[in-house]
Structure formats: C-alpha cells, structure tokens
Structure 1
Amino acid sequence: MNNPAITNLVISLGAMQVARRIPMEDPQVLTYLRIGYIASQVISLAIYYYITLKIRKRNDLTVLKYVNPASPMNPDAKPELVTTTVKDYDLAETGKAMKSLFMGVAFMCFLHGYLKYTQPLFIQGLMGLKSTLESNPAKLHLFGKKAEGDLARPFKAAGGLMESLTGKAAGPQTDAASIKAAEKAGGKSD
C-alpha cells in the first residue's frame, strides 16, 4: 500500500463509512468536527513551517539544473532551463504544498460555509494531514529519507491524463543532453 492513490481511496471510503454514523445534525458534534478540521489544517501548516525551518538551517547550496518541458498547450513554448539550489528548490516545493493546503481550506469554506455540506469536514481533516505527511518535503526533511529514486530532485510529477494517453513523462528532464540543448537554445533561468 505504498501507492498514495490507493491509500487515499481506502482512507476516503473508510472515512465516508465512519462519517455516515456521525450525527452531523447535532450542533455540538458539528462544532467538534469544525474544531477537528481546523486543528488538522493548523497541524499541517505547522509541519510545513517546521520543514521550511529545517531547509533553511540545512542551507544546502548544491546547484540543481533541470529542464522544464515545453507546455503542450502553447505550441510556441520552448523547454526552459532552470538553475537553482537544493535549498531554493525545496523551499519552492514546500511553498507549493502550502498553497495547495490553503486552496483546500478555501474550497472547504465554500463547501461548508456556503453550501452547508458537513461530511467533507471529517474526510478532508484526515486527508489533508495524510497528504502533508506523504509530501516529498516531509519525506526528506521530516522523516530523513534519502533524496534518491522518487525523492530525487527535481521531483517527478504524478502521472496525469496526458501521460497515460501519450506514454511520455511530462516531468522535468535532468539528463546532460537535455540541459546542454536548453543552454544552447538560450532558455536559461535562475
């Protein structure tokens, strides 16, 4: 069960079964659900903040070069060479994860505050914390795993619809030939 998609499905289905048995019409239970959801989001935010502190303390200034592929939606786009440090890359990835967390909170505010759905409070409280603990920055800086395989920088994006249709990985390229070709094309970025 190392596949996050499978564990997400299992936890979601299990949480939905548990949520059906929770009397969400009861105002006291609803208050506890809100407190639980907010607490899980605050814990997730605190974890990401702790990770940023660890990244800054480690201050890994190892140069990282990779080529972002051209956007398939823009035919005039060219692959972009990115030159950064491990510290800056990890901080950027942690920032993306935090933005995703805030987007989830905003969506939940819409679902619960405007549409009055209560069941997602319970499920997203669990899923948000799970996704925080399974994020690549958490694996590297919280659990101390080595940056190899799936955790090698730059991180490989999860396979999406386009990848399944074309069979091509849309993630960054790190091979020397791609980097050299992007340098010749003048696609440098810092």
Structure 2
Amino acid sequence: MNAQIMNMAIVMGSMQITNRLDLEDTKTKQIILGAYVTAQAFVIGLSYLIQRRIQAKKDTTVLKYIDQPKPMSGEQPKLITTTNMDYDLEQNAQAQKQALIGLALMVFLHFQFGVIRPLIVQSILPVKNALQSKWAQVHIFGKPAEGDLKRPWKADNPFAALTGQTEEPQSEAAEKAAIKKAEKAESKAGSKSESKKDL
C-alpha cells in the first residue's frame, strides 16, 4: 500500500477513535497528551540515533545528482556534488527540523487553545513516517541503498496511487548523461567568468 494512502487511512481511523472518546475527561486528556509526548520523544530520539550512525559510518563516497527546482520557480536544475555522509546528514537534519516545528506548533495549539483531537493522529503518523523514512531504512534497518533507497532520495508522490500512475525511475545511463551535461555547462560558465575577470 502507498505510504500516503496508509497515512490517510490512519487519519480516518484515528478520527473514528476520537469520536468514541470522552475528550472532556481529564484522565483521557492526560493519556492522549502522554502518548503524544512519548511519540515525539521517540521520533526525535530516532533522528539523533540515525545522525550518530551516519557519522560513525563516515561514508565519504562522492554523490553527484541533479537538484530539480520547485515547480514554477523559474530556476534551472543545479548539479550538486556532495558525499553520502553529508547528504544523509542533511536529509536527517531536515526531518529533525520538521519534527521540532511540528512539536512546537502542536504544543502551542494545545496549551493556547486546548486542542486535543489532532494529538491522537500526531501520536501515530510521525512514528510511522520516521520508521519508514529512507534514511531510517538504510541506517537503522541496514537495507542497502539500492532501488527505491538509492540516493538521492525522492519524496513519495501522494497522488500516484490514487491516479494509478507510477513514476518511472530515471535510468542510470540517463542520470549519468544529465550529470555530465550539467558538469560541462558549469565548466563553461566557470571559464567565461574567469575570462571576464582577466579582461
């Protein structure tokens, strides 16, 4: 099952559970809040464990890929040259940042406005997403970085399963050709700027 479809199913299921709970009861609120805090602590702890494992591996294999700009940004695709370790640390850091922003937002909503319903969903989804993340699959579960787990990691298309479309992965040859083309373009741009400086 597509991860996004599963997320939707979890949201719908948790809404059904929420409707059966007495959310005015103090004890129920405390249990929900405790479950939420435990889930967030698990997610943040997992991301720090992944960070330590990435640093311990010290995989300095060179990674080159084309970074596609956001749709309608008007920017050109960029050639990124990094290492597996730096790339993995960056991806994990982004996940840490999102987790902390989500935590801060939910804490604000709960204590400022007494919001309790979303805490149930947020006690399940972040744990599931953290465990299914590509960096967790590679660094926690020890799966090889091949196929769907090959770097650079692509975000899942939330509409792919609904429309029946599957994104065709770019062939390795086409990927290498795109990287070579970008390298040539960069070297030409570099030599032009050098010649301008000489003038």
Q: TM-score, with normalisation over the residues of structure 1?
A: 0.85
Structure 1 runs, 4 residues or longer, greater than 4 Å off: 171-174
Give the counterpart of 1:123 among 121, 124, 131: 121
CA distance in 1, matches of 2:72, 2:139: 34
Higher alpha-carbon Rg: 2
Matched, 1:46 2:29: no
Whichever residue aligns with residue 36 of structure 1, its letter is: A
Partner SS state of residue 14, structure 1? helix
5 Å matches for 1:6-155?
6-75=5-74, 77-155=75-153
CA distance in 1, matches of 2:100, 2:186: 36
- Name stretches of at least 5 consecutive residues in structure 2 with no aligned partner: 190-199
Closer/same/farther in 2, CA of residues 53 and 185 from structure 1, 3 Å limit = same
Deviation at 1:132, TM superposition (A): 0.8
Tell me how many residue pairs correspond in the alignment: 182
Kept in 2: contact 1:52–1:94 (CA 8 A) = yes
Higher helix share: 2
Q: Taking every aligned residue pair, what percent have the same amino acid on both sides?
A: 38
Kept in 2: contact 1:66–1:172 (CA 8 A) = no
CA distance in 2, matches of 1:42, 1:108: 14
CA distance in 1, matches of 2:92, 2:129: 12
CA distance in 2, matches of 1:90, 1:79: 20
- Name stretches of at least 5 consecutive residues in structure 1 with no aligned partner: none
CA offsets per residue over residues 110-137 of structure 1, 9 Å max, x none? 4323332211111111111111111111
CA distance in 2, matches of 1:44, 1:173: 34
Partner SS state of residue 83, structure 1? strand
Closer/same/farther in 2, CA of residues 99 and 115 from structure 1, 3 Å limit = same
